[in-house]
A = this chain, B = another copy of it.
Amino acid sequence: MRDHPEIDPETDLMLERVVDVAPELIWRAWTEPEHLTQWFTPKPWETIACEIDLRPGGVFSTTMRSPEGEVLPADRGCYLEVVEQRKLVFTDALGPGYRPKGESFMTAIILLEPEGAGTRYVAIAMHADPAARGKHEEMGFIEGWGTALDQLVEHAKTLA
């Protein structure tokens, strides 16, 4: 987290990897619902719906289905920063129009930097405190986000 001084290792989690897909394609996979649903949830979980209004204050919502067929309530968060092909920040602390949700779990930061023909991909999950970080780690942040990234890369290559 040397290059990201705003990140606190006590409360935050980070995944960093260089992948062989251009930032442009990763951006499309993150910001177009028909593509995001193809990779967002590690299989055999599925993302069955996705709502994106790509501007600060706009909705970012996903609906997931468990391997047993249980559909979880949509988690309606909102975007905070949108920098085309470079940076995406969203949170579950606020709903569309910045309405507070009362409780929150995390703010996510996705950073894309061109590296050769590929991308240096950084995903950060910021939490309120070490307990929330620990919970996210137990939920399998590293493995889950890593597997989703594998799926993202595989899907993004079909967009080239």
Contact = CB atoms under 8 A, between A and B. Distances in A.
Interface of A: 6, 11, 56-57, 80-81, 89, 91-94, 97-107, 109, 126-129, 132
A79 to B, nearest CB: 11
Contacts of A93: 91, 93-94, 100-101, 104
A97 B80 contact: no
Identical copies in the complex: 2
A104 B127 CA distance: 14
A57 B89 CA distance: 10
Contact of A80 (B98, B102, B103, B105): B98
A66 B109 CA distance: 38
Given A94-B91, A94-B94, A107 B100 contact: yes
B126 A102 contact: no
A66 to B, nearest CB: 25
Given A80-B80, A89-B98, A93-B94, 12 more contacts: A6-B97, A56-B56, A80-B98, A91-B100, A93-B101, A93-B104, A94-B94, A94-B104, A97-B126, A100-B106, A103-B103, A103-B104
A101 B98 contact: no
Contact of A99 (B94, B102, B103, B126): B126
A133 B145 CA distance: 37
Given A56-B56, A57-B81, A80-B57, A128 B99 contact: yes
A104 B94 CA distance: 9
Contact of A104 (B57, B100, B129, B132): B100
B104 A126 contact: no
